[in-house]
Structure 1
């Protein structure tokens, strides 16, 4: 179920959930780069911080932390049915090579869930909101022979899905359609973008810094970061959109300043506070996810779609906190 057991009505749940998130908005309501810039860690006020072994694998946060944070969190946490494993499911469907184990797991189980719902309710068309590169859509078509409409607002994902379809799934062209569309009540309103910083940080590769460097030392980390990123100086004209980028101006990283900042942080309680900060963010994720999904569920029911529910469709060991919102109408469509 999506409504926590401590609530009887959705309105009460939404009000309390929003009040809770407002109280602890410093845990999520900003870019991660602003943690130090705006001194966000000042909110992490824990007694005996010096003695806490926050980096130990068995460390657990004190339950009385931050104005009864965990008591409020427990009240807002929803309990869902246990995930049901299916033997060898990920090897039955034809998922492309190169897809991560987590993604393979999600695609296989969500496609299987959609298949079961469609068979049970006589659906013949699936509409996929946020279809990405189309992996799920193709698996749904191949395993069910249903028609699929994929809606995607990201241009590169939309183009990528069309290219993948033409190259690997030409037989699905008549049954799997992709449309570039932004689902937004105010999608016709233009969003103005302003340049505020002196430099833009750009990645040279998809994974600019290798995670394994975190297990070494800071010197190795910043060397990898300087190779993986570049600083582009902003100018009145958006140089990144020019066809000729030869005149784009770059700036170098100040390694000595980075080392100095690191030494100052390393010798203080900042790292411990940051570790606790990240743990608190992790605790918030299930509540935020449930709030969003349950809001969608209530909205669909208000619009007359009574046959809709939330269901856990993947294993948390591989893909934590992944839920599916399944809705269907009498017109033989699954949304």
Structure 2
């Protein structure tokens, strides 16, 4: 990412950003499931007649253009404009076709092809002979690099099944790459530099310049990759796709701070001065990782938001915790915006467990689970219906906040590398965000 044009120094940018985030913290500092519990929508002050003559759910509705008569919205858009960063559009022509014959989704194919293309360019420009691929999975990216370049590849994977699967695929479909593409099982951390150098020497002999890559450098993996890049002299380039910022590890302090956010000295100092640790927490970073555009119908999004928040409010009122019984507690695409159907799914997908087993509401018995009171849930749901427009605005405002928050997080990482002497560090859009929302690559060269 980069410094927005409005600002001359990183210090000014970070200071004003934190002040802006503080002003609008209630738009992000609770999980969206808790917007009714914490009455977040009360923040959005709208006169009854304000959107009377427009349909906010129309796909062509433009919220900024319809905000002049509302002080809250007008001020928000006046302030957020200065934090905007424009990225150049990606080059759609790659050196090798836009398609590859692997059993993955079109989104994944797009990511593999375009990252391989970027790696080819970066390695050529920086005389790298090897790509060290963090989180190599089943080896799809590694094999495409082999097929389209003269580069060697060391795939590093922590998952046993993926590691074994990559080697099986190689023997079955890519036997001619066995001497050039090597796989090792290892969990990357900030101290992996000696292991990586051992692996490289063992697999490829004499030392050579290499490039570190990662298609999904989740949570702390991007920062670990950055620190490893700084430690290893032969690591001449770095191309990582960061994601899942909210899953970064905490440092164990009483303030529940993140170990790797912020990391630049510049932002650390400003963070302390402005007590950023008090409100820039998990929900803030979750929003940074959220897809930056709304491809779904806004009415569907509003229904899902309010329905889930209704169930959360019900649990809160009765001192219950909601625990998912399966990965997708509610099959959103099958409920047809019908709250009765939603509740039937929710009953199967969530368990209600008491916050306090000594509570009067707490069920007895081994499983200690309660059932949903459908009549009360329908009553809460009916009370939310006047909030639909506010809920839509809440969703749209989060969409405007997302790239601003992500830029804040990622510019901290760029500045960290620059403080360490790696001036050629930047974020570049290399994927089509309509296909793959996580489209920004950290590119750094020595």
Same fold (TM over 0.5): yes
Shift of 1:312: 0.8
Paired residues, number: 306
* Structure-2 separation of matches of 1:91 and 1:150: 24
1:202 aligns with 2:324: yes
Q: TM-score, normalization: structure 2? A: 0.59
1:45 aligns with 2:45: yes
What are structure 1's unaligned runs of at least 5 residues?
Answer: 153-157, 237-246, 330-335
Shift of 1:215: 3.4
1:91 aligns with 2:210: no
* Structure-2 separation of matches of 1:209 and 1:16: 40
* Structure-2 separation of matches of 1:251 and 1:56: 40
CA 1:148/1:283 → structure 2, altered by over 3 Å: closer, same or farther?
A: farther
* Structure-2 separation of matches of 1:164 and 1:173: 18
Q: TM-score, normalization: structure 1? A: 0.77
Deviation string 1:237-268 (CA, Å, 9 cap, x unpaired) is: xxxxxxxxxx54433222222211111112x2
Shift of 1:299: 1.1
CA 1:260/1:163 → structure 2, altered by over 3 Å: closer, same or farther?
A: farther
* Structure-2 separation of matches of 1:322 and 1:135: 20
Q: Which position in structure 1 is the counterpart of 2:384?
A: 265
Shift of 1:322: 1.8
1:147 aligns with 2:153: yes
1:101 aligns with 2:106: yes
More off after superposition, 221-230 vs 306-315:
221-230
* Structure-1 separation of matches of 2:19 and 2:145: 43
Residue from 114, 117, 132 that aligns with 1:112: 117
Q: Which position in structure 2 is the counterpart of 1:294?
A: 411
Q: Which position in structure 1 is the counterpart of 2:24?
A: 24
* Structure-2 separation of matches of 1:182 and 1:232: 36
Deviation string 1:62-112 (CA, Å, 9 cap, x unpaired) is: 3444351112211101111111112674413x44x2x33333322321222
Shift of 1:135: 5.7
Shift of 1:138: 3.3
* Structure-2 separation of matches of 1:164 and 1:233: 42
Shift of 1:45: 1.0
Residue from 70, 73, 98 that aligns with 2:77: 70
Residue from 52, 60, 63 that aligns with 2:62: 60
Q: Which position in structure 2 is the counterpart of 1:313?
A: 430
Q: Which position in structure 1 is the counterpart of 2:169?
A: 168
| Aligned 8 A contact 1:165 1:173 in 2 | no
CA 1:173/1:115 → structure 2, altered by over 3 Å: closer, same or farther?
A: closer
CA 1:12/1:188 → structure 2, altered by over 3 Å: closer, same or farther?
A: closer
| Aligned 8 A contact 2:112 2:140 in 1 | yes
Deviation string 1:118-164 (CA, Å, 9 cap, x unpaired) is: 121112344556x3846675356544443346477xxxxx3453343
| Aligned 8 A contact 1:200 1:234 in 2 | no
| Aligned 8 A contact 2:146 2:153 in 1 | no
What secondary structure sits across from 2:423 in the alignment?
coil
Shift of 1:321: 5.8
* Structure-2 separation of matches of 1:83 and 1:2: 16
Q: Report 1:316-327 matches (<5 A).
A: 316-320=433-437, 322-327=439-444
Shift of 1:219: 1.4
| Aligned 8 A contact 2:163 2:183 in 1 | no
What secondary structure sits across from 1:33 in the alignment?
helix
* Structure-1 separation of matches of 2:367 and 2:142: 41
Residue from 135, 142, 146 that aligns with 1:138: 142
CA 1:159/1:17 → structure 2, altered by over 3 Å: closer, same or farther?
A: farther
Q: Which position in structure 2 is the counterpart of 1:244?
A: none
| Aligned 8 A contact 2:324 2:350 in 1 | yes
* Structure-1 separation of matches of 2:108 and 2:129: 25
* Structure-1 separation of matches of 2:121 and 2:165: 26
* Structure-2 separation of matches of 1:323 and 1:141: 20
* Structure-2 separation of matches of 1:222 and 1:173: 54
What are structure 2's unaligned runs of at least 5 residues?
Answer: 172-177, 191-219, 225-247, 257-315, 358-365
| Aligned 8 A contact 1:134 1:150 in 2 | no
* Structure-1 separation of matches of 2:82 and 2:444: 27
